[in-house]
Structures are given as C-alpha cells and as structure tokens.
Amino acid sequence: MIRLLLADDQALVRGALAALLDLETDLEVVAQVGRGDEVLDAARASAADVALLDVEMPGLDGIAAAAALRRELPECRSLVVTTFGRPGYLRRALDAGASGFVVKDTPADRLADAVRRVHAGL
C-alpha cells in the first residue's frame, strides 16, 4: 500500500483527488492539508510515502515544500501537481527534489501511475 499526503489549498480539488486516488487498490490517502507550511508535519505524522504538492499554496509553495521534504524526510517522495505546466516550474520542482511533475488535467489513471512510479523511484 502506498500512503499519500495531498497538499492543495483548494478544498474541492484536494477532495476530488483524494476520492479518485482512494479508488485505487494500492493507494491510500492518509493525510490532507491546505497549506504548504503544514506539509512536513503532516508527512511525519502520517508516515506518507508520497506527497502530492500543489505549486501555489499559502504558507509555503509546493516547490519549497518539496525541498523541505527532501531535506527533512527523504523517504517521503514528492510529486508536484499544478494547473500550470510551465517549464520554469518543472525545472524548479526537480531542482528542489521533487521526484515527478504532472498537470492537473492529467487523467486519473495516469496520475495514479505517476504516484506509483515516483514511489518506485522511476
């Protein structure tokens, strides 16, 4: 079972992602937060394997949250999920330590596959 942390400041988006990913037999959403500065504590408390991080959040953006996870909890990999598929975001996310990057219009089955690949270190 892959344990997921969802971080997105839009409650509807966060809830929809949780509902979709919870349908997968090998994925379990174990924590949800609406602010980037809540990611590290939630990842620790939930023992999340993978954190899905929105780029733009209050408190701390998803790229900074990915860097904090890499530094403080390297066993929790991060997958940046954003509305904006800009090359600058991709480069910054990967440089910060994110293991993957997907846009929010990615089909649910491809998002689940991205989570699996990030978890596996691919």
Q: How much is the average pLDDT of 12-32?
A: 95
pLDDT score of 97: 85
pLDDT score of 28: 97
pLDDT band at 103 (very low <50, low <70, confident <90, very high): confident
> Rounded distance, CA 18 to CA 8, Å?
11
Rounded percentage of the chain residues whose pLDDT exceeds 70: 98
Q: Which domains does the chain have, with CATH numbers?
A: 2-120 (3.40.50.2300)
Q: And the tokens for 81? A: 């999920």
In the three-class reduction of DSSP (H, G, I as helix; E, B as strand; rest coil), residue 105 is classed as coil
Q: What is the pTM of this model?
A: 0.93
Question: For 27-48, what is each residue's pLDDT tens digit?
Answer: 999 999 999 999 999 999 999 9
pLDDT band at 85 (very low <50, low <70, confident <90, very high): low
Degrees to nearest 5, angle at CA 71 with 11 and 44: 50
> Rounded distance, CA 67 to CA 25, Å?
29
Q: How much is the average pLDDT of 57-86?
A: 91
pLDDT score of 92: 83
pLDDT score of 94: 82
Instruction: Return the axis-axis angle of helices 62-72 and 87-96, rounded to nearest 10°.
Output: 20
Give, as one character, the DSSP assignment of residue 37: G
pLDDT at 95 over 80: yes
